[in-house]
Amino acid sequence: MADIMMPQLGETVTEGTITRWFKQVGDEVALDEALFEISTDKVDTEVPSPVEGVLSEILAGEGDLVEVGQVLARVGDSGDAPPAEPPAAEPVEEVVEPAAAEPVQEVVEPPAAAPVQQVVEPPAAPEQPSEAVETPAEPEEPKSAGAFRAAGIVLSPVVRRLISENNLD
């Protein structure tokens, strides 16, 4: 049987409040599966199980303030028989489990932000053709450098535009 303890969630964090249990007594628990959610003054996070087995005992309930290192629950071997009463409460708690899956889906949403970064890149492309329209008579080499060499002097696109607008040579 393994003890599940309140983890150290930050250098200065000494306590936290259990906001939600994802598993109930008698439930199978997989390694690294979220067991409960904890809220501290610095972070709210789900705490994964360090072992697999059956949740045999919950020692701290939702809303309880717990110290770092305090034993919160116990997980036994899969063969351990849970008490008869908690499984009767199990169907009521199963309704809570789908809600627990929703935050995981929310975590999956941020990768959708990657296409936004790709969308940011195309607006840069129209700027390049506008420069290309201004510089067709100039040599093609400087385009990659973003500057133009005239008589050994490097000129930026802004300077080239000013020279062109003011008919300077």
**pLDDT tens column, 65-111:** 999 999 999 999 876 544 444 444 444 444 444 444 444 444 444 44
Domains of the chain: 2-108 (2.40.50.100), 125-165 (no CATH)
What would the pLDDT profile of 20-34 be if each residue is shown by its tens digit?
A: 999 999 999 999 999
- Confirm whether pTM is higher than 0.85: no
| Beta-ladder partners of 67 | 15
Nearest to 164 by CA among 143, 140, 142, 136: 136
Return the pLDDT at 119: 46
Q: Do residues 62 and 21 touch, judged by C-beta distance below 8 A?
A: yes
Helix and strand numbers, DSSP H then E, in the chain: 6, 10
Mean pLDDT of the chain: 72
Q: Do residues 36 and 68 touch, judged by C-beta distance below 8 A?
A: no
